[in-house]
Chains A and B, each alone.
Chain A
Amino acid sequence: MVADSGSQWSVEKLEGRFVASYGVGSDADLPELIRFIRGVTELARSRHARGEEFTEQPVIFVLHPKEPAVDFGARSRNPRVPMLDQGDSSIGGLIWFVNHVVNDGFSVAQLDNDSPATLFSYISRDLGLGSTAAAVVSKMDGEFVVRFYPNGLDDPDTCVRQSLEVSRLDCGEVLDVLDGIWRNELVTPLAQGHVSSTWSDPSKLIPIKEAELLVQRILKIGLTARYLGVFKVHQEHAGASGRFDLLIEQPDPADRSRVTKHVLLELKVLREKRSTGSTFPPAENVAAIRKGIIQAVSYRDEWDVKACALCVFDMRKEVEGSAAFDGVETEAMHNSVDLWIRHLFPDSDSYREYQYAGGS
């Protein structure tokens, strides 16, 4: 507590601030587009928790914090809203122009005769913002959903939809998402092309020194993007039993300090070589798997998480698959640890051969 602070800096005041605002800034390491959709999702869930009703008439958010150089015509332009993401202001019936952290923005009113089609057309044609990232919050088929258009409303086919009412998440579902991320972002150096690679020299099977950290980051971005911010992904937090790799939790939108911790992921990278090029002893890979199970159990219990999984990324030459878990499967099952392994191929040829031989 701040000495001689009176009431302004008391623990009670700071706890109040924590309850109202915990989680803001937790996405600082994510790309701007992901932060934008996460911010929209959090704001919509917060308003919903406060009793704001959403209908089939969409509330539209455009990632464009500056004033478009146009006349809004019959639509009234409302003042900027400070601390927009606190959820103190109603958001319905409006078109929002916000920054990527969705903590500042202004809105223009929708008209009584606006339909979703006229609103999309207005943003695209009249405002010229059809290729600007946008998010739409509405009821669809009775469900409260957010739709994310990363390429803007002019590209309606590139759209991700996520229910905002979901409150359950199990390991199997998360591992299915990991499959998609592995296939699209990690499986070969080519797939990893647009990010830093886990490979230092794939032709010699040499990984980078921080391969596991890079995989963590890619998974964090991928999971956050898949769930559009409904679930929050934490990376590398320290506790008494060590640092967990990834934790997926969900804050209560009515009290952000109350969180449900759904799934904990412990990651391991198996390798043939060290980053220096020297041979990595096979026994250390075996030991890493057993250690991973113990870590997953310890962190799950310490952090009071509902479920956990050990996720292994295998950078060795031979595809061992789930045989890598021989000898530890019973132990994992006994401790309710899901096991998941995928191969990181050093080149596209070996991946194609693996697929040709029947690998999925």
Chain B
Amino acid sequence: MSLLRYQVRSLMIVRAFERGALYPVPLDAIHTVSYLADALATSWRLKPLDNAVLKTQWVPRSQPLQTAVDRLTGMGLIRATKVEYVVRDSRHALQAEYAVDLDRAADVFAVLDGDSEWIAENTAIGEISFAVTAMGRERAPRAVLVDASYSDPLLDNNNVLSLSSGIDDEPTRTESAGRSLGAIAKERVGHALTPAELTSLYVRHLYALSGEA
């Protein structure tokens, strides 16, 4: 997957949080939204950027996404504050908060907002970011840790987790949870859930679970 797509996704995420108000957005929240966009890609009919992640006890960091964030910071399109390093698994991990420079990025957003190729991705990233915003600064980065797939008790840390299923594959645990919510909607209110409704319900369940964890 080209670095450009990761850069576009990073910009979309930071701008969505600017509108949603969890802002400046913590780095883990950026990776959280990107993870959920891939885990819920089937619902949004998107092609995931990362098909798999390494399960750890932390929020999974997509290396290409991090490279994209670093590049955008270097280009001055987003700004990093509260930069520090924390030790995770005996390694130093970057922590920071990011804000978008709307003036500098205006031309980029003008292209993205006017190009039909990016509409679906932009909508999905926006709605996922708004849903995660509602979790608040403390719990938002913990959403992935309780995600149905990432928290699979049958998958130990340091194993690779597939984020989306192929056409003939078994659905992932996240996809199964989405299907269950869709079936409940059919039974209760008689119609299917839109991708944004499903995302909101799913993230609200993560919020509840993150409080129990």
Binding site for B on A (CB under 8 A): 1-6, 8-9, 11, 13-15, 17-18, 20-26, 28, 32, 65-66, 80, 82-86, 99-101, 103-105, 234, 237-239, 257, 259, 303-304
> In the complex, what distance in Å separates the CA atom of A85 from the CA atom of B201?
13
Count of CB-CB pairs between chains A and B under 8 Å: 131
**Residue B4 is within 8 A (CB to CB) of chain A in the complex:** no
Q: Are B191 and A239 in contact (CB under 8 A)?
A: yes
| Chain A positions within 8 Å of B127 at CB level | 25, 28
Q: A21-B201, A99-B19 are in contact. Are A1 and B196 (CB under 8 A)?
A: no
Contact assessment for A84 and B20 in the assembled complex, using a CB-CB cutoff below 8 Å: no
Q: Is the interface of B mostly helix, strand, loop or mixed?
A: helix
Contact (Cβ within 8 A) A304 B190 = yes
Q: List 27 A-B contacts (CB under 8 A).
A: A1-B180, A2-B177, A2-B180, A4-B153, A9-B173, A14-B205, A15-B184, A17-B181, A18-B185, A22-B197, A22-B201, A24-B197, A24-B200, A25-B131, A25-B196, A25-B197, A65-B19, A86-B204, A99-B130, A100-B19, A101-B130, A103-B130, A103-B134, A104-B22, A104-B133, A105-B21, A238-B191
In the complex where A14-B205, A18-B201 touch, is A83 in contact with B134 (Cβ < 8 A)? yes
In the complex, given contacts A14-B205, A257-B189, what are 17 additional A-B residue pairs having Cβ atoms less than 8 angstroms apart?
A2-B148, A4-B153, A6-B153, A14-B177, A17-B181, A17-B205, A20-B204, A22-B185, A24-B197, A25-B198, A28-B194, A65-B19, A65-B20, A80-B136, A82-B136, A83-B135, A99-B19
Q: Top 6 closest A-B pairs, CB basis? A: A65-B21, A82-B136, A28-B196, A25-B200, A103-B134, A25-B196
Give the B interface residue count (CB, 8 A). Answer: 47
Q: Decide: B173 and A82 in contact? CB cutoff 8 A.
A: no
Any chain A CB within 8 A of the CB of B35? no
A104 to chain B, nearest CB (A): 5
Question: Shortest CB–CB separation between residue B35 and chain A, in angstroms?
Answer: 17
- Complex Cα distance, B10 from A191, in Å, reads 38
A100 to B19, CA, bound (A): 8
Q: B residues bordering A, Cβ < 8 Å?
A: 19-23, 123, 126-127, 130-131, 133-137, 139, 146, 148, 151-154, 173, 176-177, 180-181, 184-185, 188-192, 194, 196-201, 204-205, 207-209, 212
A84 to B130 alpha-carbon distance, docked (Å): 12
